[in-house]
Amino acid sequence: MSGATVLVVLLAAVLHASWNALVKAGPDKLLSTVLVAAGAGALATLVLPFVALPAAASWPWLAGSVCCHVASYRLVAAAYAHGDMGHAYPLMRGSAPLLVALAGVTLHGESLRWLQYGAIALICGGVLAMSLQGRAAATPAARRATSVALLNAVLIACYTLIDGTGVRLSGAPVAYTLWLFALTAGLLLLALAGKRHALLAYRRQYWKTGLLGGFGTMASYGLALWAMTMAPVAVVAALRETSILFAAIIARVFLREQLGPHRLCAVGLIAAGAVTMRFA
């Protein structure tokens, strides 16, 4: 993986942690999530007339990814409704790369060196360790957050693998990403049509969440998809999980969550994994 690709993936990680923090900070997690998705869809729609269509072979993969993304957005909202960002985010983002690594070699025919597997293990171990919070993790709400977050990790792994193939078949990574977010926003809004009055009222007060979060999620995933065309999917997916470094800072400074020695050690594991990945 080149140095430029590493920097692009790290920027994607910063943007991903930022839009998740916007969702967590909102009073209604589901409506905040819908605003973020709608914001991304609106921005994507503005650009679509100026890009070529993705290749026909990529559309079935695009359709599968849209379905996974819609379900994933719903689970993000549910996870943050039951637990804090420091608990749910590591589980969602930390479990997925391991699943991608196990499946990516078979589905994509990729060959990873043992050092790269070691880096993936370090990153996953670090983000999972950050979710261990003693008695706080044993409450009913925390257990629900854990279950939802782990289920979402499966969906994240699924759409990562799907898009890893789809974007390569598309011949147009930018167009593929724009259609992904436009269609996801449309399907999500259709699924929540019964809440349209509440959503309109919420949008008037929190429109900045939709605009900033929408840009963050679209740019983050678009950069990651581009990186997948330059490096193995499992490696990109794992390095992107360094977003937990930035999420920890955001959660501590802006959301006032605790960042004690235990979590600092977990951050060290993630950093070690990122360095190992860079030089593998």
- Mean pLDDT by runs of 10 across the 280 residues of the chain is 88 94 94 95 95 96 96 95 87 81 73 83 82 64 87 92 90 92 95 90 94 93 85 81 86 85 81 76
In this predicted structure, what is the pLDDT of residue 108?
65
In this predicted structure, what is the pLDDT of residue 19?
95
* 37: three-class secondary structure by DSSP: helix
Q: In sequence order, which residues have a C-beta less than 8 Å from that of residue 242 and are 6 or more positions away?
A: 10, 13, 123, 270, 271, 273, 274
In this predicted structure, what is the pLDDT of residue 70?
96
Domain span holding position 113: 3-279
How would you classify residue 2: left for phi > 0, otherwise alpha for psi between -120 and 50, otherwise beta? beta
In this predicted structure, what is the pLDDT of residue 259?
76
Of 15, 129, 160, 150, nearest to 82 (Cα)? 150
**The total number of structural domains that make up the chain:** 1
